[in-house]
Amino acid sequence: MNIFASRFLNYLEIERGLTQNTIISYKQELEKFFTFLDKKNIDVINADENTILDFVKNESRKGNSQSTQSHIISVLKSFYKFLVLEEKIEANPVSQIAYPKKWKTLPKYLTIDEVSKLLELPDTSTKLGLRDKAILELMYATGLRISEVINLKLESIYFEESFLRILGKGNKERIVPFGKIAAQYLKEYLKKSRIELLKGKTCDFVFLNRSGKKLTRQGVWKVIKAYGKKVGIGNKLTPHVLRHSFATHLVEKGADLRSIQMMLGHSNITTTEIYTYIARDRVKKIYDQFHPRSKKK
């Protein structure tokens, strides 16, 4: 057993007065963790958040329940907090790792084909159609929340650098990149439709209604639901489904979770990890459907 772990277990027994059964459970989780670190040739003092997340994921792949995963995280949080108190490290690398959420159902999302059909629907020859096209393309390109879409201001768009400056939940600012197609329709909307909608008035917000005022949450909902009905997915299409689709398709294409977390504005990466389960579930369905030796066949 690592010398730091031994001192930590003594601390739990003497200073915190934990029961022997609790201390044994802590010891078992730490032994697994040290074995994992040894295989990676990483010292416990130098283990960072990504290494610890890899360990938690590795344990989850073994079929451990969410309560077991939560216990592992709790043990490591306490252990590294102890190392901070002992002045062995400056910051706790586990402090930002959240406990796994209990998802009753996986988030709904669209297939790439469904998204493609949806994005083709707006009539860009009309001012409202061009606005709708810009909204849909931008939402799918960035994964913005509906509140972030309606509150987007002109000053927050950086076309040359291809990113948006977004003020998200808790007034936390983040930088979100967007692609050429979204940029193309956003520019067209700003140069054509938006000027017509303003009718000589001024407004700082990007997306406007037919009266030239800031588009409301309800307005965006109506736009998205209307197009969803036309393409036959109205029953499952919401603004948040577009956000889920953005993240799921990135995971399926191999994007790393930390980058997706930053783009979505999640406080903890554990929230973002749900999309790996969606991708995994989809792969299983494809296997069951097409593999000749699938058990379901």
Q: Which residue of the set 133, 243, 244, 249 is catalytic?
A: 243
Q: Are 181 and 141 in contact (CB under 8 A)?
A: yes
Please give the model's pTM, rounded to 2 decimal places.
0.61
**How many residues can be counted in the chain?**
297
CA 141, CA 166: separation in Å to the nearest integer?
Answer: 14
Q: Is there a catalytic annotation at residue 244? A: no
Which are the contacts of 114, defined by CB distance < 8 A and separation ≥ 6?
231, 233
Give me the residue label for tokens 């948006």. 164
pLDDT of residue 294: 61
Q: Which residue of the set 153, 225, 240, 282 is catalytic?
A: 240
Closest CA to 60 of 270, 248, 260, 266: 270
Give all domains of the chain, ordered by start, each with its CATH number.
3-85 (1.10.150.130), 112-286 (1.10.443.10)
Q: Is there a catalytic annotation at residue 145? A: yes
Q: Are 159 and 183 in contact (CB under 8 A)?
A: yes
Q: Is there a catalytic annotation at residue 280? A: no
Q: Is there a catalytic annotation at residue 158? A: no
* b/e map 235-265, b = 16+ CB within 10 Å: eebebbbbbbbbbbbbbbeeeebeebbebbb
Q: Which residue of the set 169, 201, 210, 280 is catalytic?
A: 169
Beta bridge partners of 164: 157, 176
In the chain (297 residues long), the average pLDDT of successive 10-residue segments reads 84 85 90 92 91 87 74 91 90 84 68 94 96 97 94 96 90 92 97 94 95 93 93 86 92 86 84 74 65 59
pLDDT of residue 64: 66
pLDDT of residue 297: 47
CA 77, CA 73: separation in Å to the nearest integer?
Answer: 6
